[in-house]
Chain A
Amino acid sequence: MNCEEAQELLAALSLGALDKEEEGPLMAHLKECKACLKVLQENGRVMEQLPLAVESAFPSPDLRGRLLAQVEALEKMASSKVGKAMPPGGGWVNVWYWLRHWSPAFGVLTLLMTGTVLGWAIYLQLQMNTLTQNEDSLLTEISEQRMILNIATSEALTVIDLAGTEMAPEAYGKLLVDADNNNAVLVTSKLKPLKQDRVYQLWLIKGRQPSRPQDKIRINGGTFTVDELGQGELIIQAPDPVITYGDMGITVEPVGGSISPTGTKVLEMAP
């Protein structure tokens, strides 16, 4: 793709109107071309302003009260130890409640993480004019954060718990899976930071038959590292919907990952 072709698509990228098949070539071009990247950054300014052009309208006078009442109700439900009824409302409200209620500590952690990436994704889209360096990594990040945003806000969101093995009893993790496609986000906590030549590697496993362990097919789900709190994240684009894998695990592997597991297993699917 040359600059002329790329610039024909930049407005569509900013507007979210780019056809999927054009995204890859355009992103590849943007990695190489600072001039086109600058145009994209300038488009961010328009995107910031565009919603303000809409004619202002008044919501019902009681909407404010309903909003605060809903917050109140959610807070009460979240702090209550009895009653597992879901709150009214859909989408995020339910997910938020679900996470907080069923796994309070990690629910909050996961929300914070998804909130962080949401904020970061939005920031990246709106504040492109601050991009002056590291275009390569930022472009990758934009693409990844968009995916995380899509998964985290998907109504088909499914959460899979991962528990620490004997080698890492305090560690835990969650897979946020978009049941509508092959994408997922892994978040972990309390995994030990590794030496520089080691990474954690996720394995997606099919053919879980205890009687025939040799039939298991292990797919590389990607590698990641963790910070000093043991928190890490990984975006997964699996060959099949992640929800169809019967088992999964995380092992310690050499940097770059392994073809099949060679190291200690630290996380596995919770029973």
Chain B
Amino acid sequence: MEYGWLKDEQIIRLIVQGDKEALGALYDRYGRAVYSLSLRIMEDKGMAEEITQEVFLTAWARADTFHMQKGKFLSWLLTITHNKAIDQWRKRRRSLALSFDSVAANAWTAGEQGLETLEDSLSSVDRKYIREAVDRLPAPQKQVVTMAYFYGLTQSEIARQLGAPIGTVKTRMRLAFQKLKESLIQLEEELKSDEL
């Protein structure tokens, strides 16, 4: 069977029926996205691959619990990925002395791969939009979002790491989200006007 043409919901249905090749097709579609996020958080290829495997095994075991009408399958996978990776990272970080000085500068790169054009099934437009939105953030705001999202730190932990008042951290985080929302809306509108 040619799986590449199937929609997510059709692949998921096949997975529920026990079709292992459908799981392979799902991996072909989203494996890189899952791995990229895992690698970015873990900063270790071996651990990122372990998490990637666990995420797809979870998908295999629980595909029937996902309701397509309630959300995107990729978002579901990436949320599982984030939870698993952050759990692992929190355990690991206890033994690491981290410096967050340069966090904002390199936070969104996954390693030594360099920027690339995407060939997986993700919308490169989506990727471009959110990347641009993140890039537009002022460095201090990008830094606190990064420390929370990729390092699993709470606001008070971030304040401690940066030696900044917690109120400053809260404000930076709020402003960052506000700007991300505005940027996403603006970029979407730009796309619509380009399409017309």
Binding site for B on A (CB under 8 A): 7-12, 14-19, 42-43, 45-46, 48-60, 63-64, 66-68, 70-72, 74, 89, 91-93, 96, 111-112, 115-116, 118-119, 122-123, 125-127, 130, 149, 153
Contacts and interface: CB of A to CB of B under 8 A. Distances in A.
Contacts, number: 203
A266 B52 CA distance: 42
Contacts of A125: 79
B173 A53 contact: no
Contacts of A123: 67, 70-71, 76
B54 A18 contact: no
B57 A74 contact: yes
A56 B131 CA distance: 12
Contacts of B186: none
8 contacts: A9-B170, A15-B148, A52-B130, A54-B108, A56-B118, A57-B113, A70-B53, A126-B79
A12 B148 contact: yes
Given A49-B130, A50-B130, A56 B27 contact: no
Interface in B145-159: 145, 148-149, 152-156, 158
Contacts of B45: 59-60
Interface in B30-67: 31-33, 35-37, 39-40, 45, 48-50, 52-54, 56-58, 60-62, 64-67
Interface residues of B, number: 80
A12 B110 CA distance: 23
Contact of B152 (A16, A52, A60, A111): A16
Given A45-B181, A50-B149, A17 B154 contact: yes
B27 A57 contact: no
The interface residues of chain A, by DSSP majority, are classed as helix
Contact of A119 (B62, B127, B152): B62
Q: Which of B61, B127, B152 neighbours the largest number of chain A CB atoms within 10 Å of its CB?
A: B61
A71 B20 contact: yes
B154 A59 contact: no
Contacts of A19: 154-156
Nearest to B134: A53
Contact of A52 (B20, B65, B127): B127
B181 A10 contact: no
A42 B45 CA distance: 33
B96 to A, nearest CB: 19
Interface string B113-150: 10110101010001101110110000000000100110
A67 B37 CA distance: 18
Given A59-B32, A111-B61, 14 more contacts: A19-B154, A46-B177, A52-B130, A54-B108, A56-B36, A56-B113, A56-B116, A57-B36, A68-B23, A74-B57, A112-B65, A118-B80, A119-B66, A130-B70
B127 A51 contact: no
Contact of A67 (B53, B109, B116): B53
Given A52-B127, A153-B87, A67 B173 contact: no
B111 interface: yes
Contacts of B58: 92, 118
